[in-house]
Every structure is written in C-alpha cells, then in structure tokens.
Chain A
Amino acid sequence: MASRQREISISEFFTKNRHLLGFDSPSKALLTAVKEAVDNSLDACEEAGILPDLLVEIRQISPERFVMAVEDNGPGIVKAQIPKIFGKLLYGSKFHRLKQARGQQGIGISAAAMYGQLTTGKPIVVTSKTGKGRPAHHFEIRIDTRKNAPVVALDHQLELEKDHGTRVEIEMEADYRNGKRWLGRYLEQTALANPHCKLEYHRPDAEPLIFPRAAEIPPREAVEIKPHPHGVELGQLMLILKESRARDLRGCLMHEFSRVSPTVADQILKSAKLSGKTKARVVGEDLKLSEQLHRAIQATKIMAPPTNCLSPIGEELIHKGLTNFLTVTQEEAEREDLEQLELQAEKGKGRKKEEAAQKIEEAKQKAKAEAILEAQGGQEGEEVIKGHKFFITSVTRPPKVYRGNPFQVEVGIAYGGPLPGDKPVELYRFANRVPLLFQRGACGITESVIRTDWRNYMLSQPKGSLPVGPMILFVHIASVWVPFTSESKEAVAHYPEIISELRLGLQECGRRLAAFVRKRQSAEYELQRRSIFELYIQEIAQSMKGLLGSNPERVKADFMKLANKFTGGELTDEILTRASEKLAARPRTAENEMAKEEQ
C-alpha cells in the first residue's frame, strides 16, 4: 500500500477536479477561459495605467472545437516569465499581496491552458510585446501535468504592429451554442463595470459586438497595503512572525502590519506580556506564545486600515457605464428582432411576408423618431437611450472595513425603458469589477437586495424575493480581499459589515428612484388628463357641427391650441384643489337631500 502512495502534483489534482476551476462542462469552458484571460488583461492594463483595448474572439474549428483568443494592448510580458505564467499552476504575482485586483490566485489562465491541452492536445499560443521597437515573442506552451512545469514547444520572434500587448489563444472542446448566453453576459457586464475599457467581441454566429469606451480616464491604481492586525488569523500570524526579517518582535509588528505605531506595538506587547526584544521567529514557532500575542492584538484598539488602497468605479462612471451598456444591448436586441423580420420577409409567404415588411418599415420610422427624441434629452437623471427613457443613478459609499480589510460598496440603477415591468429586476453583481454570474442565491449581495424593502421605493416585492420592476440593479464591491464563499469566486460572503454597507447603498438608490417615479407618475397623470380633454374636445366639436354647422376639425384645432395652455402643470392642479375643496365645503343638509328626491 505504502509503495503506491506518492505525491500528487497540483496540475494532476486539477486535471481530475476541473470543476473546481470552472471547467466542469463544455458550455462553461469557453466562458471560464475568456474570463481568466480578460481579467488578467484588465489587471495588467490597470497596473500600467493603460486604457484597455480588448479583443475577444471565438472561432469555430469543428462542431465541438473552438479557439478562444483574447488580445489586449497591455504592457506585455517579459520573455522569461511567459512560460511560467501560462504553463504552471499557482504561479502569480497577486496571491501574496493585499491589493484590489481582479484575479487573485494565479490558477486561472494556466488552468484554461491545461483544459485546452487535455481536450485537444494543442498547446496554448501566446504572443507578447513589451514596447515599441522590441520584438514580439511567440510561444507555444504545454504543461507537464506531473511536474506542474511548462514545456515550451515553440519559441520564435514575430513582427507585431501594435506597440505593446499580449494575445493568448487556446483551442478547446466547448459547447458554444449553450455557452454563448453566459459569455455574452460576462462581456456585457465587464464592459459595464469597466467603462474605461473598449471591448470588441467577435463571434462565430453573428456580427461583432462592440462596446465603445465610455470614459477616457483609467481608474486610479489600487495601492498595495500591509495586512491589518485585526484581520490576521492565528496561523497567518505565526507565518508572518516566522518569515519576518525584522530584528525583534516589536519591529516585526510595526513593519509587517499596517496601523501599528510604536505606541500601539508597546500596548500589544504589554498586554501579551511579551518582551519587544524577543525574536519574532521564536514567538512564531511557539503556539502558546503566538496565541498570547494574537489575543492581545484582538484586545488592542488599533486605527482602521488606510482606505486609499481602494479604487472604486465612481458614481459618474457607473452612470456612464450603465448608459453605454443599455445603448449596446438595446441596439443588439433591435438588430436581432430586425433579422428575424427580414428572414420572414424573405422566406415567408403571403400575409406573413407583408406583415414582416410592414414591421421593418415601422421599425425604421421608429428609429427616426427615436433619434429626434434622443436629441431633445430628458428630465434630470433621465437618459434617453434608443428612444427609451431610463432613469439612471448611482451611489459610491465611503470605504469601510471588515475584519481588517478595507472595502467599498457601489450601487447603480437603471430604471424604465423597455425593461420588463412584470419580472424580477436584473441584478448584476460585481467584485473588483468582475461580474459574478453564478451562485446568485448564495451571495451576500443578493441577500442584501432581498432584505431591502423595495415597496418603500415604488417597486413591488414578493416576500423573500428580488423586487419586481423594469430595472437593472448594479452592485459592486471593491476590496483588497473580497471574501468569496468558495474557490469559484462567484458569491460574496455574508459579513455583517458588508451587508450593512450594501443595504445603505441600496436604500439611497431606492430613495432616488422613488422620488423619480413619483415625479413621473404625476407627469403621466398630467398627460392622461390631457388625453381626456382631447376626447371631450372631439365630442364638443361634433356638437358644434350640429349646433352651428362649424367645421369640427377647425373647432378641434382651436380647442387643442388652448389645451396645452390650460392643462399644463400648476394651473390645473390649483383649479383641481379648489374644486375638491368646494365639494367638501358644501354641507349635506336635509334640504339638499329633499331637493334630490324631487324630480
């Protein structure tokens, strides 16, 4: 038995447990691969301060085989690093530091490469260029799954037009037909949460989808911070103590953690009954001493960690992102409808064909009217997108801390337009600008939305469910360490501090929504009122014809001229109030009653 036991390489482990990395089904594989590559590209661009220009390509090779390619204009990767990054699992720069970033663990892209290799035998193809005048390196890399090490199959230099950037290509077995919905959603929402990014999506079965850049400023670069003492667990504390290069325990506390001043360090040491001169390594290797120190840290008052390490999207950019998102998705929906109609107009017969042709004509007319409407603009907070009016607002909450980790919550809503009013709202969740597509039910964001009483904000809400209404709800958590409930990174954990911040953000947006809806309802009432007057005018015009022989159209026109003057806004309201007051003031005497009974 013992002879059959041997070490399992991490690559081997994941080969057999690929569901842990999101490669459990062919329909999800494309999404996971694209996601890892895009997240890496965006992180790289952000770190280098570059406005990202992304191209995502899906090519079909055979019915079940696809090539996915992601190309960016990032800083590129130095030649020596390329094989390790793409051919070795758990190799990365992001795991060991506390900094707001998209990817965190360093398994992502190499796992995708491994999945490709596993299903097709083909290596991952990487081309990268680090600057103008430098050569572009072209690699084909395999992974030795036993050793978890890269094997370079091809390495040569290429000429690349752009100054810098990276292109990754992986061939894999996949199910595009069933996976494309999720892929589309992921890219849409990525563009939504990264308005500074230009995203082009080339699909095998349709026209390219292009999300234009909505903001010309790259987001503020997130700063790396040291861990806050309150967020450190015992095991982690011991590790830090053991590995610290500081001279003694006091120095170690001050150097390895944020917000530990000499005074705070002395306080901790005093309550731990430890000498500052002790070697940190000694404490770290002794469980009892470490526990003593850990308890002392938790009992000491320490200033909250710095929050300038966070890089929120910002209210203005969320607004722009939502506008951009709606524009592209509405266009896409219209185009799909039109395609259907054109197909019918071409291939249909008889009445159906005519109907389709007519509908195409209608759509064209509508587009014209929409353009006019768009030029006019709407009321405050209202955006006219593709002829539909949306109310858009966003809130960025001040940074807060959970377990020593700074985090920040942002909420945005887009309400109205052709969004379905009888379905639950569309909830888009993001963590560090990455869309969370799965495990909605397990997520703390979902819970916060459900636990907010949206009936206060003019939406209906079945008990224990999302609110119902024509709305997109955008919720973003930025943190140096987003607490996910599992390794697939799709659901945010339910920390009370986070839940409370989420709720405050949602409530603020809800209040703004309610104010808008109320205002619009009164505007709608106004309109309704005007249409009632129109109906009455029609009747009067007909009667005038009988009484005076006047031309009804002319009478109507005369009345309508006045209608706008008299039914608009305050005047009518004033008259209305007066009328109702008068009605209430009239006493109900027996006299009146008797008068009524009489014929």
Chain B
Amino acid sequence: MSSIGPRAAKAHAAKTVKKLEGLAKDTLQMVKGGKNPYMSIPTRTLANVRFNQKSQVIELKGDKQKRYFFNVGQAKRFMQMFLVANACKELIGVDKTTSIRDLYYMTKHTLGQSRQNTFEEQEESDPIIEDLEVTVDALREELNLFASNRGSLVGELTLVDAGDVIDGRRMGSGGWSIPSIVEDNVIQFRKCDAKFILLVEKDAVWRRLNEDKFWKKHKCILVTGQGQPPRGVRRLCRRMTRELKLPLYVLVDNDPWGFYIYSVLKQGSINLAYESMRMAVPEARFIGLSSFDKEKFKLPNNVVIRMEDVDVSRAKQMLSYPWFQRKEWQREIEHMVKTGAKLEIESLSNRGISFITEEYLPKKLRDRDWLA
C-alpha cells in the first residue's frame, strides 16, 4: 500500500502548475504573433472515443477541437478557461482543495460595467473544468478540485482517510461517506477481510443490506454511488479491485439506465473517457437484476414497470455497444426489449423484506449467476 510523501506531492503540484502556465504562455505567444489565439481541447464526444478491445475500456481518440478567442461563439468559454486555470493555480499555491461549486463562486463576477457575469450558473463552469482537465492533461484532483461527496461504504475494510483511521465495520447505519478525492495521498488501505466488493445503485437497497449486516455474513465491502456513481466512488472501486485484488459485483435496476451505470463502471464513459484508465473496472460483474430474474425468482407480473419509448431506444442503442457484443449480453438486452418490462431492485421485496439479503444475493453468488 503505497503512499506518497510530502516532497513528492509538492513536486507533483509544481508540475500541474507548469501545465496551467503553459496554457497562458501558448496563448500569449499566439497573440504576440498576430494570430487568433486558440487552445486545442480533446473532444469529448462519441465520435472521438473508441473501445480498446485489449484493455476493455473506452479511450479518447486524438481528435482535438480548437477553441478560438476571436470567435463570438467561443470567446466566452475561452475566457472562462483562463479564469478557472488561474483559480486552480491559486488553490494549488495555498494547498487547499475546494468543491466545483466553490470554484464557480470564486470565479463568478460581473464583467466590467455590463450586466454579464463571468459565469451565469454552475452548469456553465462544470464543463469548463472538464475542458481544462483534458486540455492541460491534469486530473480534477490534481487541480485541487472535488465534486460534492456522494456515495457510502461499509464492510470488512479498515482504511486511513486524511490521517484518520476508518473501520468499515463500525460505521453505523450511514456508512463512511466516500470523498471525491480518493488518491493514495488521501486514502490508504489497511486491514482487509473482504472477499469481494458489492456496488449497489440504490441507496435504499444499500441501507437494507447494511441493516441486515450482509457484509458481515458474506465478508464483503458494501458500496453505493446513489445513482450513477461519482468519480470518487469509481476511482475507489478501481483502486480496491487493483490493490486489494477483490472482484467487483454490481447490483442495479433492470432497465437501460441500470445497464448504463454498469457499463460506465466497467468501461468508462464518453464524457470522462480520458479518465477511463484510472476508473474503469473491465472485469466488473453484473449480478442483477437480470431480465430473466422475474421468472427465476417467481416475481408477480404486477411489480413490472412498462418500458417507455426512450427506454426501448436506449436499450436498442446498447445492443450496438462493442462491450455488450457477447451473446449473453445480447440475450439479456433483447429479452428486456421483447418483454418491454423494467424491474427495480426493490421489487424483490415483494417476496419478503429481507429476500434480497437472505435469498436473492446468496443464490446468485452460489450459482455464479452473473454477467461480465
């Protein structure tokens, strides 16, 4: 379990600052040379990502988009990049981290005598941060930024969080809140008795499992991302699978959105393709809910939710994803489309309040009934 020392951290920060300064230097040079200044931003669109068959993750291709200053449609974002870059340099300089919402307020002010603001809302500043990350090739954490905390952990693991020892077995009903920065300078793993990690889409299901002490009985680490897992949760899962050599099971709703959550955990996302290597867990196992679970676990028809048109089109799109090309996956998705039925994890409670803890998951694990 490695941990980097303060000196190494300092050198790392200096490198990041250099990258930010480089952006300014390049721009200044273009201006002095009488050119319309631009920055090259790797495009984060479907067209510019590719599925790497070997590493099984989504990667960014080389396409870059030029953002010019003297262009009515791009000037503001160009200017915003500099505001964010400057703010990040400041943060690194005083060795503080801040939320992206804080950063939004830090950089927000009115432009001159006009009625325009540098940023009108946070939705404007968040993509600028992502643009800056890919442009200067520095991760959000390296820019001393974090997203709001989301996600909880309990289970057979002891870790150190910012110097404090956290025992995953004694986290009460709420669990340990997973921070957005989980790099090894902040989080170090200590004693681990777990045999696997179970990531649950839904907070309510996670609570049920925690209350039933599922993790104690089955020796595991129980994690939830409360919906689409944020970067901190994904990064932590990746580190745990790599450093603790544990398999990762994923429990999501049986609907296209649930499959998508699994897909992002497994291969990474288009938007954050540049971080796939640090976040994706290609061998993640999809444990449920499967399209066939309704029959398998004798769930009544009335727990089914009808698929809507958007669901159907999403599902059909997924059929063409390279990482869903395996026969089992095609069957899974096709069955969902065919029956036109969605299932929530909670629908298992129809069979009894602790059916999921006592019957469903144990049976699935015992039968090795999962997809990868």
Contact = CB atoms under 8 A, between A and B. Distances in A.
Contacts of B83: 539, 543
B31 A547 contact: no
A592 interface: yes
- Count chain B CB atoms within 10 A of each CB in A566, A589, A591, A598 and give the residue with the most: A598
Interface in A388-431: none
Nearest to A590: B314
Given A535-B114, A555-B28, A544 B36 contact: no
B34 interface: yes
Interface string B20-54: 11011101100110101100000011100000000
Interface in A553-582: 555, 558-559, 561-563, 565-567, 572, 575-576, 579-580
Interface stretch (B84-92, B200-208, B242-250, B283-291): B84-92
Given A566-B36, A599-B231, A533 B75 contact: yes
B270 A591 contact: yes
A591 B34 contact: no
Contact of A576 (B36, B73, B86, B314): B73
Contact of A590 (B72, B112, B116, B317): B317
Interface of A: 529, 532-536, 538-540, 542-544, 546-548, 550, 555, 558-559, 561-563, 565-567, 572, 575-576, 579-580, 583, 586, 589-592, 594-599
The 7 nearest A-B residue pairs measured at CB: A566-B70, A579-B73, A543-B82, A543-B86, A546-B86, A547-B24, A536-B79
A547 B136 CA distance: 14
B228 interface: yes
Contact of A592 (B46, B118, B314): B46
A348 B25 CA distance: 57
A536 B28 contact: no
Contact of A539 (B34, B68, B74, B79): B79
B70 A533 contact: yes
Contacts of A559: 31, 69
Interface in B280-315: 310, 313-314
Contacts of B269: 595, 598
Contacts of B36: 562, 566
B85 A575 contact: no
Contacts of B111: 535-536, 538-539
Contact of B70 (A538, A548, A555, A563): A563
A575 B271 contact: no
A580 B73 CA distance: 8
B136 to A, nearest CB: 11
A299 B33 CA distance: 83
Residue of A539, A576, A589 with most partner-chain B CB within 10 A: A539
Given A536-B75, A598-B264, A548 B314 contact: no
Given A539-B111, A591-B270, A562 B34 contact: yes
B3 interface: no
Nearest to B100: A599
A540 B79 contact: yes
Nearest to A599: B230
A463 to B, nearest CB: 33
23 contacts: A533-B69, A535-B112, A535-B114, A536-B111, A539-B111, A540-B69, A543-B24, A548-B21, A555-B31, A558-B32, A562-B36, A562-B37, A562-B70, A566-B36, A572-B72, A575-B71, A586-B45, A591-B46, A591-B270, A596-B271, A598-B228, A598-B264, A598-B269
A139 to B, nearest CB: 69
A56 B14 CA distance: 85
Given A558-B28, A576-B73, 6 more contacts: A544-B27, A546-B86, A562-B34, A567-B70, A575-B70, A576-B72
Contacts of A534: 112
Contacts of A586: 45
A536 B279 CA distance: 36
B98 to A, nearest CB: 16
Q: Which of A536, A547, A563, A592 has the most CB of B within 10 A?
A: A547
Contacts of B231: 599
B147 interface: yes
Contact of A547 (B74, B89, B271): B89
